[in-house]
Structure 1
Amino acid sequence: MIPSNRLIFLGFLVAGTLSGCASQKPAENPDAARKRPEAEAIRGKPAEGETVTQLDANGDGQTDVWEFRLKDVLVRKELDLNWDGRVDVTQYMDPQGAKVREVMDLDYDGKVDATYQYAEGKRTQGERDLDGDGKSDSWLYYENDTLVRKERDANHDGRVDYWEYWEGGQVDRIGEDLDGDGTVDQWTRNPKTKPAAE
């Protein structure tokens, strides 16, 4: 592969990986996702029977992409997006090759900071560890591959206390729990969005 084609290929990988703050369905059991005791490692170990193919996407002589196959079916792909020799993103595929889960190491410490779930190729929900303590403190929900809601545990007490509702690619309104009882006490509406019809 000539160098320009490698860069184009890597561009597609990055675009596909980083695109899509976009699709939502409420989590079936959000409490289970919020109780992860410690962050998982970004780099998985090959399972029994898996084979790995190493690819050099940018032509620098170093591996940037690791593809894991089980009986010739791609089940996982690991990507080094900043070319430092370490995995930054791991994608998990179903037997048909569609992405079902993606994990990212956003601060390059070797641990997962963000996890996204997919259905039929569209992002449905995500969770992030914003403070690096190994526990999720931000949750994202998508509809039709479009971000519609963010929730956050801003005071790190294990309960959501901040909500953002998105419409048309921007924040429509923000709800805040000021007294810690788990319900919204204060709403702030984006002055640039139109209120819903009564």
Structure 2
Amino acid sequence: MMRLVYEASSALEAHMILNLLEQADLSGRIDGEYLQGGAGELQVGGVVRVMVEEEDYVVAREIIQEWDKHQSERFSHAKGGSSSESGYSWGSGLVGFICGVIFLSIFDNTAIVKQGVDYNNDGSLDEQHFTENGAVTRTEYDRNLDGRVDKRFHFERSGRLISSESDEDFNGSFETLTDFEHDQKVRSESDTVGDGIKDLQMEYRHGVLTKTRLFSPDTGKPIKVQYFDGFRLVKAEFDSDGDGHFDTLYQYDKNGEVSGTSHFTAY
């Protein structure tokens, strides 16, 4: 029978705790991990739980309490601007885990902490969270596990998500930039051909895609605009002759098939 031993604030923290327990040869699992949002944060009301076998509960709690104690002491030192963190002793039971996951450095008297998860156990962190004095400022992901970061999220000191940059074709170039308001996407722009020009724009409402614009690399004017209702493409406007004016309208049915076409005087 499994028993709740720890409620984490994110999947990242839950994996850290589970890894810590595994260092002591305790087995467990994570529940609720997939309730989190795209940036790694929990949705409202979501909880990520670390579960262990009933017979391992007492030992697991002792390990976690010791870890919590050292975490509190570390951030207490960091808040005071101390430069002694590099020589901080974590205790023999924690060194193996902490050294692989967390390092602390001081810059302009600000504590910068990096935490992460190595999902494929290749020695390289595939998910990294950077905090300053306890507040997350940036998260980075290697989504295809090739050893290179391909998505970053940026946060204000208050914890508010403000922007992201991503390499959607995994070629090493961050071609897509996204702005957020209230932790939801509002607009994105991408360089789809790798010429340094953002030729695709996307608009969102309540985090849901509503419109895309594709621009001509020659004129810089839009050549196609698509309109969405939820997940469904409902209509699109085209500039069929490249003169910088829309002249064709396509309507789409619920299956995404063209249901109607009309031509009109360019505007």
Query: TM-score if structure 2 supplies the norm length?
Result: 0.53
Q: 1:112/1:138 Cα in 2 relative to 1: closer, same or farther (>3 Å)? A: same
RMSD: 3.1
If each structure's helix is expressed as a fraction of its own residues, which one has the higher value?
2
The structure with higher relative contact order (CA 8 Å, sep 6+) is: 1
Q: Which residue of 2 aligns with 1:16?
A: 38
Structure 2 unpaired stretches of 5+: 1-17, 23-27, 41-106, 261-267
In 2, the alpha carbon distance for the partners of 1:51 and 1:76 equals 11
1:148 matches 2:210: yes
Pairing 1:26-175 to 2, within 5 Å after superposition: 49=110, 51-58=112-119, 60=121, 61-154=123-216, 156-175=218-237
Deviation larger for 151-160 or 76-85 = 151-160
Larger radius of gyration: 2
Query: TM-score if structure 1 supplies the norm length?
Result: 0.70
1:7 Cα deviation after fit: 11
1:52·1:66 contact (CA, 8 Å) conserved in 2?
Answer: no
In 1, the alpha carbon distance for the partners of 2:202 and 2:190 equals 8
Q: 1:6/1:186 Cα in 2 relative to 1: closer, same or farther (>3 Å)? A: same
Q: 1:140/1:7 Cα in 2 relative to 1: closer, same or farther (>3 Å)? A: farther
In 2, the alpha carbon distance for the partners of 1:149 and 1:156 equals 22
Which amino acid in 2 is paired with 1:55? G
SS at match of 1:87: coil
Q: 1:80/1:168 Cα in 2 relative to 1: closer, same or farther (>3 Å)? A: closer
1:137 Cα deviation after fit: 0.8
1:7·1:57 contact (CA, 8 Å) conserved in 2?
Answer: no
Deviation larger for 53-62 or 167-176 = 53-62
Structure 1 unpaired stretches of 5+: 19-46
